Structure 1
Amino acid sequence: MRHTSIGGLFAAAALGLAPGAFTVAAETESNVFELGQISVIDSKGESSLGGSDTLDSETMRKYDRETLGKALNLVPGVNLSRVGARNEQMVYVRGFDLRQVPIFLDGIPVYVPYDGYADLGRFTTFELSRIEVAKGFSSMTYGPNTLGGAINLLTRKPVKAFEGEIGGGLSLTDDGESNGNRVYANLGSNQGNWYMQAGMSYLDQDYFRLSDDYRGNAFEDGGRRDNSYATDRKINFKVGLTPNDSDEYVVGYQRQEGEKGNPPYAGDTLSSTRYWQWPTWDKTSVYASSSTDLGAHRLKLRAYHDTYENSLYAYDNARYDSQTRTSSFRSWYDDYSNGASVEDEWSLSDENLLRLAYHFKQDVHREHDGGEPWQHFEDRTQSLALEDSHALSERLTLVVGVSHDQRDGREAQSYAKTTGLVDEEGGKNHSNNAQVGLFFQQDEATQWRASVARKSRFATIKDRYSYRMGTAIPNPDLKSEHATHFELGYQRALGETWKLDAALFRSDIDDLLQSVRIDAGACSSPPCSQMQNVDKARVNGLELALDGAFLGWDMAFNYLYLDRTNRSDDRVRLTDTPRHKAFASLSREIGRWRLQTSADMASRRYTSTDGLQVAHGFAVIDSKLGYRFDGGLLLEAGVQNLFDRDYEYSEGYPEPGRTYLVQGNLTF
């Protein structure tokens, strides 16, 4: 599951490693849409450097990670979290959230313009060839806002004249009822000088069933989880021209449509709860990418138009049939982003590769509640980056990068019944970024890496302008957050079947955004708050990943130790990350049969800054048995949460109890 090219695939190929160590990454490399990749590369432009991780499609299907949030939870250094009050899957990458580690699709930014987030439960994984996660030290050519790294979703590129897969299945509860289903298909054709890739998926959940260990209360009586439905549909299409061995020109399209319920609070701490439903969570991405060889230069261009439509209905009660209270509303978002980037890879010599990149992005957010006018917001962001890879010797590579980012708040409006629409003050901000990394290939099996990176993130539209339902005042002059990352990494092939990857890291964050209480004289209806750059934080951590094979069994293990400290006020806790998180799996193939068991484990985590809400630690076991027929058909039966554990990522929002899966997959 973990892959760093220079010390991974190279070592695997050189040593002839057996299945279990690097098999997945090597087998799926050919069907990856490489034009969508963004990474720190060596002086020849051939191998990726840095401590990035790769999760391939085979691994996602193996562990039934159908949504992006659950898939990313397999990656070392990443932990899944839940925004329970909004029923959203989120992840933290070494303690940095999705505003600080943005989402890309084939190198195109697809995070939501308004607040920088994206509900990872709405992003299905069936069409992906792999996911790349860069941490801290990430390529400057990603562009702005990669404070803690970047997550890049790579689609497929066909390698045969005709290829594809078709799959589907059912989920069943403990009492034998079917509560969900899924179906997906991917088809591709590569005709040499052109190719086409298309896919579709449908993922539906009527409800999920709570564990028998869950004890009911006034908010939730157990059994079927109230308002826990979700439906997600996706189609994607890509066509590419490859007129020669070096050039490529591609147009891509992806449309995803989602709707979901919002299970109400089901804990013992809060005195009230939300009755919310999301009829619309839709996203469309249209993009064009190209790569042209110009001798010593390689020119890469990207252009895109990305839209986001969202509707949220807040009701008075658990019947979802009344909206008369002041807390009830109907809200709509209609956002879009336009952007383009140009990158020049300039080979100065065999030992030196210089990359220059320019990014432009226009973000437009439009929102209104029922009975109110539309409010408009617009940001324009630009970035100029330089990254140089220099081979100091045959085994030692130095990478240096710098960039300058600029954000211009072009338009912002607020609405109140007493004042109507009001134009807010715009805001401008600049930030500088720099990093340096050393990569030493000790031998064919061993790599050391050391890096320092200084990265930034601009405050979002929501950070700067949201009144937070009348409880806050805006701050258009918010500055960017900054983080300084230090990492020491080590990777080694242990014998013929094992691989070890380890990293020590530290991040110092300053100008961290925090909601600050404002004196009564500064706001019309005290008490109120304002977002300000006042906090400092520190993250220390350790990552370990060990993969291999023993006596016919494939084994995988990764562990994260994460210590996050609020240096400005240690009474205010940093939330949603456990101190300890691990994943382990054991699998074996016997003839046509495959047996596997895996475990997700995490220690407790705070889900409110005052420490009153705590989600306790857990270990959840999954198990599955599969049989592969001639012709590529795979049939599987499995159990998720085998021991029906009552657990949660956010206090008061319990996860599904024991669930059974019956499914099939045909590849051709």
Structure 2
Amino acid sequence: MTPFAPRTLLLALAAISAEAAVAEQKKTFSLGEIQISAPQDDALATGSSVVELDDMRLHDRETVDRALALAPGVNLAYMGARAEQVVYVRGFDRLQVPVYIDGIPTYVPYDGNIDLGRFTTYDLSRIEVAKGFASLLYGPNTLGGAINLITRRPTEAFEGEVGGGLELTDHGNVNAYRSYANLGSNQGNWWMQGGVSYVDYDYTMLPDDFEPTNNQQGEGRRENSNKRDGKFSFKLGFTPNDTDEYVLGYVQQQGRKGQPPYAGDLPATGQRKRWWQWPKWDKTSLFLATNTRFGEHGLKTRVYRDTFKNSLESFVYNNGIPGAMQPGFPSKYDDESTGFSVEGDLALSEGNRLGIAYHFKEDVHRSRDGSDPQTHFRDQTQSIAVEDTLRLNEIFSVVGGVSYNYRKSLEAENFGTSAASPRVKTLYDEPTGSDDAVNSQLGLFMNTGPLLNIDHNGQVRLTVARKSRFATIKDRYSTRFGTVIPSPDLKSERATHYELGYSGAVNQQWTLDTALFVSNIEDSIQQVTVAPVAGCAAPCGQYQNIAKARNQGVELGLRGDLGNWEFNTSYTYLDRRNRSNPELHPIDTPRHNLFASASLNLDAWRHTAGVEAASRRYNMSDGSQMSGGYAVYNLKSGYRFSNDVRIEAGIRNLFDRLYAYSEGYPESGRSYFVQFNVPL
């Protein structure tokens, strides 16, 4: 793919007529949604949070991680040793809360990780964040919930937009460009939707308060902080009647990035002494999704193939100077996931809907480090789920479900020393294994409008859910450079979630989403020290199902308007406990996390101010690394012309605050941006 260059879009802007008509870009690709079905199309507030396109644009969230920070229960984090932007959902990490694009899982098959900073939001219509009571129809591994990125579907004969902008440092230098375009057409019995985006950072700037270190030198420029991401997406849909739909989709992402080095006060050793670069971080997805109705019943299918190609280079790095590439590099991944799902929606009666789903997928991981032989792993995972929604009356509804998940290792060819050849590195077969898990959940939902005889409605929910996550290929077979013994029979993690919540209107102007939640985690995977064996010198480790933990807290989301003002607030209080070893601290999650914004609408002008704040957090469980609390403020003003062309300018990190999600990896300082959006 050749990314759409920003200068190309600037030329396109000049060629567009000032009389261009606006086309709403909020239309959702409903085939990509996975929701708990409700009788008579009644909505059920199951505790999920939704980030709409309007909010992503208003707060300039160009990547998925930044967009998710707008949702209650979600906090941003940064994996400094891998330069990956991630989120935690009620304390559950990226392995425990899988990411989907239009209902199709997307991740790195080897380790289950995903860098959300590589996923732009320009082609999305919304993001749904399901939490403990996520629908069982998602399939396996939704231990702590699920994140579904839902793309667009056009409704007009022709609709689209182009946009772009640039970013300037506090010194007035241009350091980043961004551009995007979306085009769609709905011709009745067929439709198409295409999108392209390009984001290019030459570097980021540190706040003026940062004190240079041996690893981080220069005049404020963050070392090795360049990144570039291009994305192309296309969907072609066939709609032979009012109920049926058949869609072929394709997404291609091409990225590259550097890993900024550790810049804290601790000694630069191990992971803190890295100069890593990814010249290749590419993902390609092809899928077919269908929806066929048979009267009151429906059948959905998804067939997909997802590939991931990655190249990592590591260089000798001393006192801010990178040197030669280190032995064993480049490290290359060549992974793929192939699968399908079948989902039935059955109307058993006027007040009873039954959902049935079957999922099948096969994950393949191939890797090569330097000149070493290529390793090969293959997993197969299946899931069958049944979920029933019963409307008892106009006030009460009940949702119950159960699923059975099964994972089997088909191939596990590793490279290194083994018991058969303890002195010589060679390709050898690891023992294969399997695992299964039963998930279940039950929820009671109460409509407050009819109960209280008021003209605005909401729902109270009381839910309990039992969920699981299978160990990844890396969990079971990685030797961590000869420091860990593989665990082929590692079992799944499990969690039990309890929630009491309310979602709905407070009055005509304000809506509230709030929840009290408790999650008990058991059989959590944790590394322990074991007796050394051949190929694993002391201290030798192994991953085992030994840990127990508890996450509990409060969520609050409140939004509404007062005259020309619009307000949006989300707050999370999270208390995590390591019940197996109370002296160890859960990492990367603050106890308090807040987002708040206010927008003033004055005819064609819109002025927006926002704040993101969080308390301190531990970055190492022993407390040796900790990042402090912070509050970061942003400002933006925009003007919309009569033809709906929009021009905006703003400031990020208004007060140039020095802060970090992970100690030693400071975030960007104050920056300025200008941007435009032109509807077609």
Smaller-chain TM-score bracket: over 0.9
Q: Could you list the runs of 5+ residues in structure 2 that have no partner in the other structure?
A: 1-22, 418-423, 450-455
Q: Is 1:386 aligned to 2:398, yes or no?
A: no
CA displacement at 1:487 relative to structure 2: 0.3
**Alignment correspondent of 1:532:** 544
Q: Residue 516 of structure 1 contacts residue 532 of structure 1 at CA under 8 Å; is this kept in 2?
A: yes
Q: What amino acid maps onto 2:339 in structure 1?
A: G
Which digits, 9 at most, give the CA deviation of each residue in 1:599-631, with x for residues without a partner?
A: 000000000111010000000000001111121
Q: Residue 382 of structure 1 contacts residue 405 of structure 1 at CA under 8 Å; is this kept in 2?
A: yes
Q: Is 1:55 aligned to 2:51, yes or no?
A: yes
Matching of residues 553-564 of structure 1 within 5 Å:
553-564=565-576
**Alignment correspondent of 2:632:** 620
Q: What amino acid maps onto 2:220 in structure 1?
A: G
**Alignment correspondent of 1:157:** 153
Structure 1 SS opposite 2:330: strand
**Alignment correspondent of 2:282:** 282
**Alignment correspondent of 2:420:** none
Sort the Cα spacing of 1:70 and 1:573 in 2 relative to 1 into closer, same or farther, 3 A.
same
Q: Is 1:440 aligned to 2:437, yes or no?
A: no
Distance 1:240 1:47 in 2: 26
Matching of residues 370-449 of structure 1 within 5 Å:
370-416=370-416, 418-443=424-449, 444-449=456-461
TM normalised by structure 2 equals 0.93
Q: What amino acid maps onto 1:615 in structure 2?
A: S
Q: Residue 26 of structure 2 contacts residue 125 of structure 2 at CA under 8 Å; is this kept in 1?
A: no
Distance 2:333 2:26 in 1: 39
CA displacement at 1:523 relative to structure 2: 6.0
**Alignment correspondent of 1:142:** 138
**Alignment correspondent of 1:268:** 265
Distance 1:628 1:530 in 2: 59
More displaced, 291-300 or 335-344? 291-300
More displaced, 83-92 or 28-37? 28-37
Q: What amino acid maps onto 1:75 in structure 2?
A: A
Q: Residue 559 of structure 1 contacts residue 580 of structure 1 at CA under 8 Å; is this kept in 2?
A: yes
Structure 2 SS opposite 1:642: coil
Q: Is 1:232 aligned to 2:229, yes or no?
A: yes
**Alignment correspondent of 1:186:** 182
Matching of residues 545-584 of structure 1 within 5 Å:
545-584=557-596
Q: What amino acid maps onto 1:36 in structure 2?
A: G
Sort the Cα spacing of 1:98 and 1:639 in 2 relative to 1 into closer, same or farther, 3 A.
same
CA displacement at 1:179 relative to structure 2: 0.1
**Alignment correspondent of 1:254:** 251
Q: What amino acid maps onto 2:105 in structure 1?
A: P
Matching of residues 30-69 of structure 1 within 5 Å:
31-45=27-41, 47-69=43-65
Q: What amino acid maps onto 1:504 in structure 2?
A: L
Distance 2:552 2:104 in 1: 30
**Alignment correspondent of 1:307:** 307
More displaced, 242-251 or 484-493? 484-493
Q: Residue 365 of structure 2 contacts residue 377 of structure 2 at CA under 8 Å; is this kept in 1?
A: yes
Q: Residue 463 of structure 2 contacts residue 499 of structure 2 at CA under 8 Å; is this kept in 1?
A: yes
Q: Residue 293 of structure 1 contacts residue 299 of structure 1 at CA under 8 Å; is this kept in 2?
A: yes
Structure 2 SS opposite 1:589: strand
More displaced, 549-558 or 502-511? 549-558
Distance 1:329 1:155 in 2: 37
Q: Is 1:85 aligned to 2:72, yes or no?
A: no
Distance 1:410 1:491 in 2: 45
Which digits, 9 at most, give the CA deviation of each residue in 1:394-444, with x for residues without a partner?
A: 121100010000000011111127141000001100100000011110104
Which digits, 9 at most, give the CA deviation of each residue in 1:283-335, with x for residues without a partner?
A: 011000001011242111110000001010000024444025x5x62100000
**Alignment correspondent of 1:168:** 164
Distance 1:523 1:193 in 2: 62
CA displacement at 1:29 relative to structure 2: 9.3
Q: Residue 361 of structure 1 contacts residue 381 of structure 1 at CA under 8 Å; is this kept in 2?
A: yes
Structure 1 SS opposite 2:606: strand
More displaced, 280-289 or 490-499? 490-499
Distance 2:253 2:101 in 1: 13
**Alignment correspondent of 2:641:** 629
CA displacement at 1:57 relative to structure 2: 1.1
TM normalised by structure 1 equals 0.94
Residue 211 of structure 1, aligned match among 165, 185, 207: 207
Q: What amino acid maps onto 1:438 in structure 2?
A: L
Which digits, 9 at most, give the CA deviation of each residue in 1:212-244, with x for residues without a partner?
A: 011112221350000000000000000101111
Matching of residues 310-329 of structure 1 within 5 Å:
310-317=310-317, 318-324=320-326, 329=329
CA displacement at 1:650 relative to structure 2: 0.2
**Alignment correspondent of 2:665:** 653
CA-atom RMSD in angstroms: 1.4
Q: Is 1:586 aligned to 2:592, yes or no?
A: no
Q: Is 1:510 aligned to 2:522, yes or no?
A: yes
Which digits, 9 at most, give the CA deviation of each residue in 1:3-29, with x for residues without a partner?
A: xxxxxxxxxxxxxxxxxxxxxxxx979
Q: What amino acid maps onto 2:516 in structure 1?
A: L
Structure 2 SS opposite 1:141: helix
Structure 1 SS opposite 2:462: strand
More displaced, 427-436 or 550-559? 550-559
Sort the Cα spacing of 1:389 and 1:29 in 2 relative to 1 into closer, same or farther, 3 A.
farther
Q: Could you list the runs of 5+ residues in structure 1 that have no partner in the other structure?
A: 1-26
CA displacement at 1:46 relative to structure 2: 5.1
Q: Residue 28 of structure 1 contacts residue 129 of structure 1 at CA under 8 Å; is this kept in 2?
A: no
CA displacement at 1:549 relative to structure 2: 1.0
CA displacement at 1:541 relative to structure 2: 0.6
CA displacement at 1:370 relative to structure 2: 1.1
Distance 2:352 2:534 in 1: 56
More displaced, 41-50 or 536-545? 41-50
Q: Residue 205 of structure 2 contacts residue 669 of structure 2 at CA under 8 Å; is this kept in 1?
A: yes
CA displacement at 1:547 relative to structure 2: 0.6
CA displacement at 1:524 relative to structure 2: 3.9
More displaced, 215-224 or 286-295? 215-224
Which digits, 9 at most, give the CA deviation of each residue in 1:94-123, with x for residues without a partner?
A: 000111100000000011111111000101
Distance 2:42 2:25 in 1: 13
Structure 2 SS opposite 1:520: coil
CA displacement at 1:528 relative to structure 2: 1.1
Residue 464 of structure 1, aligned match among 463, 467, 476: 476
Distance 1:470 1:234 in 2: 37
Structure 1 SS opposite 2:118: coil
- Residue identity over aligned pairs, in percent, reads 53
More displaced, 620-629 or 48-57? 48-57
**Alignment correspondent of 2:95:** 99
Structure 1 SS opposite 2:488: coil
Distance 2:385 2:347 in 1: 16
CA displacement at 1:68 relative to structure 2: 0.7
More displaced, 636-645 or 493-502? 493-502
Distance 1:80 1:153 in 2: 17
Q: What amino acid maps onto 2:262 in structure 1?
A: Y
Q: What amino acid maps onto 1:344 in structure 2?
A: G
Q: Is 1:126 aligned to 2:147, yes or no?
A: no
**Alignment correspondent of 1:487:** 499
Distance 1:513 1:655 in 2: 30
Distance 2:236 2:147 in 1: 23
CA displacement at 1:563 relative to structure 2: 0.4
Which digits, 9 at most, give the CA deviation of each residue in 1:132-154, with x for residues without a partner?
A: 00000011100000000000000
Which digits, 9 at most, give the CA deviation of each residue in 1:335-378, with x for residues without a partner?
A: 00000000111101111111111000100000011111110000
Which digits, 9 at most, give the CA deviation of each residue in 1:122-177, with x for residues without a partner?
A: 01111001100000001110000000000000000001000011100000001110
Distance 1:136 1:522 in 2: 42
Matching of residues 597-612 of structure 1 within 5 Å:
597-612=609-624
Q: Residue 39 of structure 1 contacts residue 49 of structure 1 at CA under 8 Å; is this kept in 2?
A: no
CA displacement at 1:270 relative to structure 2: 3.2
